[in-house]
Structure 1
Amino acid sequence: MKLSFVSLALVAAALSPLVAQAQQALVPAQSEVVFVSRQMGVPVEGKFKTFSAQVAFDPAKLATSTIAFTVDTGSADISREANAELPKATWFNVAAFPKATFQSSSIKRVNASQFEVAGKLSIKGLSSDVVVPVTLAQSGATTTATGAFPIKRLAFRIGEREWADTSMVADDVQVKFKIALTGVPKL
């Protein structure tokens, strides 16, 4: 089954840090949160259909900038078969844990357009500190934040019992995101 891939996608979505200011807003139609895992050695890609961001980002005031990201775990989309399994307790346990979250604790500038966002990723009632690399690009009134980072699905109990065997579904999951925002000050 492709359940572990979805589990990893959830983590990825939760970890997707983006940038925005007091009046900054997410542009959902131009944004995506994708996760890639390996099932029996074959890459499997999924996405989260529903997520939100609360961003207060000013590149001149990183110490007071914050990013909060929420993913609806029930919105994971891989395939009909996997989509039916992912909400179950073994995977995302959507009934008990309908949201995965990321809350920034610090933002560090790497260069003119690259940042490292440190924070806490919480999935399925478990939390882990993560550092997410983010690249920003501005075009007109839209700022696009892109990046990717790895997570371990088993650290969040995504794929329990027989699905904890990593020979079927790998423990490593790559979370990739592209988040479009309006209202971000010039870099």
Structure 2
Amino acid sequence: MKAIALSIAALLTVSVASAQTWTVDKAHSKVGFTVTHLMLSEVDGNFKTFDAKLTASKPDLSDAVVELTADVNSINTDNERRDGHLKTPDWFDAAKYPTITFKSTSFQKVEGKKYKMMGNLTMHGVTKPVMLDAVLTGPVTMDSPRGKMEKAGLKVNGTIKRTDFGVGSSGGAVVSEEIEIKAAGEFAKQDAAMDEKK
């Protein structure tokens, strides 16, 4: 019995050790959204401050776990007055709920580069499961000043209902209840050798 337990522990250790972390290149990534105003026009926005990473053990990243954090206070819709209002308790209540987080729970291939990604989204103090469409490109090996580097791209989109998270009032007469999420990221495989030196 003890031998079986040790074998299982060894397998788990190997699995954890083989997992690779991919860090986001923020200069080539964005986290945005689109809402409909007065049921007439679309307004785009984004979060200027965010962080994201992928963790995967398979070389093709087909078992990726995606994690994202966005700073609500960095919301940007190209209108300072509107941005200020979005941070108030009428909407995101940034003072009380300063971050939006997402962590995937499944990453399933549909065909080719297309995936369905399920995960838990936390916003305005509410956590709910959401399903998103994802397109994974790469990984590819590229030259960099530090030598060869592996990179991958991930594009995500989907629709959520803001009132499910208690953001804003119900009824979409002024701002639609449905919010389109649009995120795109470029990720680089973290150098394990450099990690060991830290």
SS state at 1:167 partner: coil
Is the CA contact (8 Å cut-off) linking 1:68 and 1:102 kept in structure 2? yes
Instruction: Pick the structure with more strand per residue.
Output: 2
| Deviation larger for 51-60 or 36-45 | 51-60
- Please give the alpha-carbon distance, in whole angstroms, between the structure 1 residues aligned to 2:58 and 2:113: 10
- Please give the alpha-carbon distance, in whole angstroms, between the structure 2 residues aligned to 1:172 and 1:64: 29
- Please give the alpha-carbon distance, in whole angstroms, between the structure 2 residues aligned to 1:118 and 1:132: 6
**Structure 1 alignment gaps of length 5 or more:** 1-20
Aligned pairs for 1:1-187 within 5 A? 22-40=20-38, 41-59=40-58, 65-78=64-77, 79-138=79-138, 139=140, 140=142, 141-160=150-169, 164-183=170-189
Kindly indicate whether structure 1 or structure 2 has the higher relative contact order, using CA contacts under 8 Å at least 6 residues apart.
Answer: 1
Go from structure 1 to structure 2 and tell me whether the alpha carbon gap of 1:66 and 1:147 turns closer, same or farther (over 3 Å shift).
closer
Shift of the alpha carbon at 1:111? 2.3
Shift of the alpha carbon at 1:165? 3.4
Shift of the alpha carbon at 1:102? 0.7
Shift of the alpha carbon at 1:57? 2.2
Is the CA contact (8 Å cut-off) linking 2:136 and 2:154 kept in structure 1? yes
State the structure with more CA Rg.
2
**What letter is aligned with 1:74?**
N
What is the TM-score when the length of structure 2 is the normalising length? 0.74
RMSD of aligned alpha carbons: 2.1
- Please give the alpha-carbon distance, in whole angstroms, between the structure 2 residues aligned to 1:64 and 1:137: 14
What is the TM-score when the length of structure 1 is the normalising length? 0.78
| Deviation larger for 175-184 or 43-52 | 175-184
**Structure 2 alignment gaps of length 5 or more:** 1-18, 143-149, 191-198
**What's the % identity of the aligned pairs?**
23
Is the CA contact (8 Å cut-off) linking 1:76 and 1:83 kept in structure 2? yes
